[in-house]
Amino acid sequence: MKNKSNQVDLSALTVTHSTDMLVIELKWRSFVYNLALILGIVAVTVMISTQWKTLTFSGFTFEEKPFAIVIVAVAFALLAFTYYCSARFFNKTRIIISNDRMSITHGPLPWHKNSVLILSEIKAVEVKVRREKTRQGQGPPFFRLEAQLDGGKWKLITPYHEDEDLIREIEILIRNQIKSV
């Protein structure tokens, strides 16, 4: 039986605190997505190199077109998967809390819409949990941080992440900063 350490792995988190500002950077990286990115790149490369004629729809008879359309659909799905894994590898979320605002940006690859929240409009900051259903039941949980605004609308702060302790640490940092402003 493994003993779970009480220490939180904060290697994906960078926190810079000054008298009037808090900057939090969360890296999206994880080992699983790094492997998936490599597999995605290999799959897209193999698909393009072996199916170039199919992907360009050149030299086909009418009866062969449905097969070509399926190949193109698979290629697009592989590209989407590779883009998702690339975003998980390169992207980070940057949260800047200063005076009366919280600025949230995600990048460098385009992903979630960047936003600016007015601190006085934030009523709650909560960790949301999502579990995907699998053939074996429920998969592992994923966690993200959201802010509830005056009108009851929830705004994304962080994307889903597999490390609950990390997301909860960000929640504590944000709550403490909002209280002190």
**What DSSP line would sit under 142-179, residue for residue?**
EEEEEEEETTS-EEESS--BS-HHHHHHHHHHHHHHHH
Domain that holds residue 127: 13-28+93-180
Question: Rounded CA gap, 100 and 81, in Å?
Answer: 38
Q: Kindly report the backbone phi and psi dihedral angles of residue 23, in degrees, each rounded to the nearest multiple of 5, phi listed first.
A: -120, 125
Look at residue 145 and tell me if it is in a domain: yes
Q: Are residues 120 and 68 in the same domain?
A: no
Lowest mean pLDDT among 6-15, 110-119, 160-169: 6-15
Last residue of a domain, one of 87, 107, 123: 87
What stretches of the chain adopt beta strand conformation (E)? 13-17, 21-27, 92-98, 101-107, 115-118, 122-134, 137-149, 154-156
Q: Per residue in 55-106, pLDDT tens?
A: 666 666 656 667 667 777 888 888 888 898 888 889 999 999 998 899 999 9
Interval 129-155 mean pLDDT: 86
Number of domains in the chain: 2
Chain centre distance of CA 17: 24
**Cβ within 8 Å of residue 118, ≥6 positions away:** 100, 101
Rounded alpha-carbon distances, angstroms, from residue 124 to 45, 67, 70, 152: 46, 52, 46, 10
- State the pTM of this model: 0.75
Question: What is the b/e burial string over 14-37, where b = at least 16 CB atoms within 10 angstroms of the residue's CB?
Answer: eeeeeeeebebebbbbeeebeebb
3-state SS class at 73: helix
Using the predicted structure, report yes or no on whether residue 127 has a pLDDT greater than 90.
yes
**Three-state SS at 103:** strand
Same structural domain, 62 and 114: no
pLDDT of residue 1: 38
Q: How many CA atoms lie within 13 A of 26 on its CB side?
A: 27
Q: Which of 87, 115, 131 is the last residue of a domain?
A: 87
Q: Judge whether 4 lies within some domain.
A: no
pLDDT band at 149 (very low <50, low <70, confident <90, very high): very high
